[in-house]
A and B are shown apart, each in its own frame.
Chain A
Amino acid sequence: MAQTNPPFLTGVPELLVLRMLSGREMYGYEIVKAMRLVTHEAIGFGEGVVYPVLHSLEEGGALKARRKSVNGRERVYYAVTTKGKRRLEHLSDEWKRVSSGVNSALNGAHGDPEHA
């Protein structure tokens, strides 16, 4: 099983789920597969933990769910709402800001802030 990421990645699953669903509606297994593909498996997690994230986003109105029977299997498909699109934009901006800060810290001169 993939190693679980540390707590500071809280919020990243939400961002990734919204990003995956921004193109088309998907069910849980499809979302996880898409996430693994686009992140090149850089982010490890137990796949089941995607469901509380989906349910939480749905509860907050960022996603809407509908049940669909496909080849005799009961699937719950999720799609992004208008509120979800706004949330995705906000989270994306936040992530870019944070990652840009971390990158500049990693690439820039490491040193004493007093001499910066």
Chain B
Amino acid sequence: MPDGQFESLRLELLRSGVTPLYVERTILELEEHYADLESACLASGLGADEAARAADAALGKDSELRAAILAHPELLTFRTRYPRVAQCLHSAATIGTLPGLPLLFCLEHRPELARWGAAVSVAATLMGSVLAALNWLIVLPF
């Protein structure tokens, strides 16, 4: 069997919204089926080219296979079957996560935020000390 024989079918199915799990399974099974058909043709006495042609013909055209798969909506992704619902859920999920983003940011940058907090605390303490000292020095003579 030529390598990548079903590659165009695989890409077409993925583009059409078939669940990737089923696309991979279908391609694997078609490859195995083709090999079985070819072996049977060779065993019946056909030459290699004839066997390949016969196996191709028995398996069916890509367009026929694609149509047969797309006729089963349960094999399509949720997004392909219900595009509007998927769009709404996507938007709702996006809006829902917005308030949590600052929290997620803080959780993700904990070490940097801790260093920043410590630095600000040290700076505030130092500045406070300096101001207090200055205040004491300035106020004392009066």
Contact = CB atoms under 8 A, between A and B. Distances in A.
A64 to B, nearest CB: 14
Contact of B22 (A32, A55, A60, A73): A55
Interface string B22-57: 100110111011011100000000000000000001
Given A4-B64, A29-B37, A47 B72 contact: no
Given A46-B60, A76-B25, A55 B37 contact: no
Given A48-B64, A48-B65, A29 B75 contact: no
Contact of B64 (A32, A46, A74): A46
Contacts of B29: 27-28, 51, 76
B120 to A, nearest CB: 58
Given A4-B64, A59-B74, A73-B32, A47 B58 contact: yes
Given A29-B36, A76-B29, A52 B57 contact: no
A114 to B, nearest CB: 38
Interface residues of B, number: 24
B60 A52 contact: no
B60 A48 contact: yes
Given A52-B71, A55-B22, A76 B58 contact: no
B34 to A, nearest CB: 9
B54 to A, nearest CB: 9
Given A29-B37, A55-B22, A47 B59 contact: yes
A59 B58 contact: no
Interface string B1-41: 00000000000000000000010011011101101110000
Interface of A: 1-2, 4, 27-29, 32, 45-49, 51-53, 55-56, 59-60, 73-76
